[in-house]
């Protein structure tokens, strides 16, 4: 049974069902505000997890704004191979707190950072174009990692990074990633009952803001990704992705290995022991084969 909407979202649904036809401009502005990232308030456990990391900082200059932001990063371990963890929208490096110890046990260096407008990084707003830019600026300052493991919308940002031939990695795994920005918005619009006309106006405004068609912000085909090995991990019951579309994408891209679980959840999938084991095996396979 679907979870009931919070009171604020029920109010939005009432607006879009009954009032948005006569107030379309307000309808678009409300969506614009709703989809600004909100900084997560971390509990004691995640705060303690970050306290065990070595902090670092780097600058990222917005691809759209030209404004330089100071982004905060976290590093664990000192192994010869680095794994970069990329969180999703309104996410945090703490989402990977069960994966990091497993990676350290395997001898990797693990790095992550708070995306713009997330965690302790600067910024008030962000989007997938700026998230990709942040990843690009990180690799320019620190070098390319051996592997990238990305969650949710972070998977799209990382995939867009890897369409550039100068940013090749050996392994790329994306976990619970929507196929596109528009697909993610459409999933969120459905319970709010946002009318098609408002959606079109929202996407038109978003395209102007991003300076590119919204449909171009998507997971590219496997042959456009500069990674030696690819893995897609999904919960078939995840309400934040359209799994039928994901299956079609993976079927059309057989170079992407796939791993499926059920009943875990969009964020908890990163803490699910079989998923952690699958990700570790995905990274370790090449190391063991080349040993």
Q: Is 200 helix (H, G, I), strand (E, B) or coil?
A: helix
- Per-residue pLDDT at 134 exceeds 80: yes
Output the CA angle 167-170-176, nearest 5 degrees. 85
pLDDT on residue 290: 34
Segment holding 280, helix H or strand E: helix 273-290
Strand partners, 227: 169
Task: Tell me, rounded to whole angstroms, the distance of Cα 161 from its chain centroid.
Answer: 12
Query: Left, alpha or beta for 144 (phi > 0: left; psi -120 to 50: alpha)?
Result: beta
Helix axes 181-192, 196-210, angle to 10 degrees: 150
Are 99 and 276 a contacting pair, CB within 8 Å? yes
Domain ranges of the chain: 35-179+219-286
pLDDT on residue 285: 85
* Residue whose entry in the numeric block shows the structure tokens 């051996």: 146
Sheet of strand 227-235, all strands in order from the earlier edge strand to the far edge: 54-61, 68-76, 109-113, 82-86, 147-151, 169-175, 227-235, 256-261
pLDDT level of residue 4 (50, 70, 90 thresholds): low
Say which range, 10-24, 139-153, 224-238, has the weakest mean pLDDT. Answer: 10-24
Would you mind telling me the total number of residues written for the chain in this entry? 291
Residue-wise pLDDT tens digits, 29-71: 888 888 888 898 899 999 999 999 999 999 999 999 999 999 9
pLDDT on residue 27: 87
pLDDT level of residue 291 (50, 70, 90 thresholds): very low
- Per-residue pLDDT at 280 exceeds 60: yes
Percent of the chain residues topping a pLDDT of 70: 95
Residue-wise pLDDT tens digits, 65-96: 999 999 999 999 999 999 999 999 999 999 99
Say which range, 16-20, 140-144, 202-206, has the weakest mean pLDDT. Answer: 16-20
Residue-wise pLDDT tens digits, 7-23: 566 788 878 877 778 78
Say which range, 70-79, 106-115, 154-163, 196-205, has the weakest mean pLDDT. Answer: 196-205
Q: Supply 18's token pair.
A: 């009954």
Q: Is 259 helix (H, G, I), strand (E, B) or coil?
A: strand
Q: Looking at 6-113, which runs of residues are DSSP E strands?
A: 54-61, 68-76, 82-86, 109-113
Fold observed for domain 35-179+219-286:
Rossmann fold (3.40.50)
pTM: 0.93
Q: Which residues lie below 8 Å from residue 274, measured CB to CB, with a gap of 6+?
A: 261
Segment holding 151, helix H or strand E: strand 147-151
């Amino acid at each position: 049974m679907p979870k009931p909407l919070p009171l604020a979202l029920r109010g939005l649904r009432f607006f879009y069902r009954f009032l948005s036809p006569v107030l379309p401009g307000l309808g678009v502005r409300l969506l614009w505000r709703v989809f600004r990232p909100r900084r997560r308030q971390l509990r004691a456990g995640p705060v303690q997890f970050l306290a065990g990391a070595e902090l670092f900082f780097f600058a990222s200059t917005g691809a759209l704004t030209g404004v330089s932001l100071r982004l905060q990063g976290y590093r664990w371990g000192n192994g010869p191979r680095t794994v970069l963890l990329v969180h999703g929208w309104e996410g945090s490096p703490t989402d990977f707190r069960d994966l990091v110890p497993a990676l350290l046990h395997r001898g990797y260096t693990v790095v992550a950072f708070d995306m713009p407008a997330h965690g302790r990084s600067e910024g008030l707003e962000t989007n997938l174009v700026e998230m990709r830019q942040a990843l690009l600026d990180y690799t320019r300052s620190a070098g390319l990692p051996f592997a990238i493991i990305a969650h949710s919308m972070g998977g799209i940002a990382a995939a867009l990074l890897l369409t550039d031939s100068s940013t090749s990695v050996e392994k790329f795994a994306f976990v619970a990633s929507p196929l596109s920005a528009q697909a993610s918005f459409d999933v969120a619009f459905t319970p709010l009952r946002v009318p098609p006309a408002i959606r079109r106006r929202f996407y038109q405004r978003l395209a102007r803001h991003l300076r590119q068609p919204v449909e171009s912000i998507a997971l590219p085909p496997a042959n456009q990704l500069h990674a030696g090995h690819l893995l897609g991990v999904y919960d078939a019951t995840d309400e934040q992705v359209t799994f039928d579309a994901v299956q079609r994408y993976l079927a059309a891209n057989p170079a992407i290995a796939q791993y499926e679980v059920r009943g875990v959840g969009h964020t908890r999938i990163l803490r699910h022991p079989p998923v952690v084991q699958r990700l570790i095996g995905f990274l370790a396979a090449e190391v063991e084969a080349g040993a």
